[in-house]
Amino acid sequence: MVFGEQEYPEETRLKYRYLDLRREKLQKNMKMRSDVVASMRRRMWDQGFREFQTPIITASSPEGARDFLVPSRLHPGKFYALPQAPQQFKQLIMVSGYDKYFQIAPCFRDEDPRADRSPTDFYQLDLEMSFVDQQDIFDTIQPVLTGVFEEFGGGRKVDQTWEQISYRDAALWYGSDKPDLRNPIRMPPATCGRVKIVGLSSCRLCWPHTALISCSSSDKSPMSQQRHCPSFSLLG
C-alpha cells in the first residue's frame, strides 16, 4: 500500500500505474466498484432476472456515436465494430423467449469525454423485460438503486419514495430532462402576450442555460392572463 495523496502529473501516474494503483484512495475505489457490481447482481437475481452476456466483436449498427473498428484478418478490407450498446443481441434474446434478463454491459463509443464517463468505454446496468409498462420498469430498478446507495452511501439518508416527473414538466420547470433536484428552484411560467429576456448573465449564477424573463402586455383582460405566450423559449 502506498500512503499519501500527493498529486502528480497524469503522465507520471500512467507511466507508473502499478504504483499509482497502490494508493489508498484508488485501492478503496477499486474494491468499492467490485462490491457495487456484486450488489447489483444480487438484487437483480433476487427479482428473478438472469444474467446473459453478448458478443463484443460484432457488426456495426446505427447508434449515437462513432464506432471503434477492428480489422478482420479472415476478411481483408472488412471491419468488425465494438458495440456501443448490445442492441441487436438484446432484441434477439427477447424474441427468443427470455422474458427478462440483465447484463453489466461494456459500451465502446468514440465520443468526446464527459464528466461522468470515460471517453472510450464504460459499463452500464442493462435490463430487458417483456410485456411491461413504464411503471413496471420504475418498480424494478428503484429497489436496486435504493439498496445500492443504502449499502455504499456511508450512512447518508436515501429517499424511499422517488418523485416521478414527466418530460413535459421537467422541461417547463427546469429546462432539462435530467434536473438536479437538490436545487429546488423552478422556472416561472410565461403567461402573457410578450416576453422579454433579461438578466441572462446574472441568472447563470443560479441555474445554467436559462434566463430570467420579464413579461409585459397592454392587454389586461383576464383572458390575456390565461394565455401562454407562443414566443417563449429558453435561451442559454
Q: Residue 136: which pLDDT band, with cuts at 50, 70 and 90?
A: very high
Average pLDDT over residues 183-210: 57
Interacting residues of 50 by C-beta distance below 8 A, sequence separation 6+: 98, 100, 101, 102
Kindly report whether the global pTM for this prediction surpasses the value 0.75.
Answer: no
Encode pLDDT of 25-53 as tens digits.
Answer: 899 999 999 999 999 999 999 999 999 98
Encode pLDDT of 167-178 as tens digits.
Answer: 999 999 998 988
Average pLDDT over residues 69-74: 91
Contact 68, 110 (CB under 8 A): yes
Residue 95: half-sphere exposure toward Cβ, Cα within 13 Å: 5
According to the model, what pLDDT value does residue 183 have? 87
Task: Kindly state the percentage of the chain with pLDDT values over 90.
Answer: 35
Contact 221, 191 (CB under 8 A): no
Mean pLDDT of the chain: 79
**Who wins on pLDDT, 193 or 131?**
131
Dihedral sign, Cα of residue 123, residue 131, residue 171, residue 153 = negative
- Long-range contacts of range 209-212, CB-CB < 8 Å, 24 or more positions apart? 209/175, 209/176, 209/234, 209/236, 210/175, 210/234, 210/235, 210/236, 211/235, 211/236
Average pLDDT over residues 87-105: 87
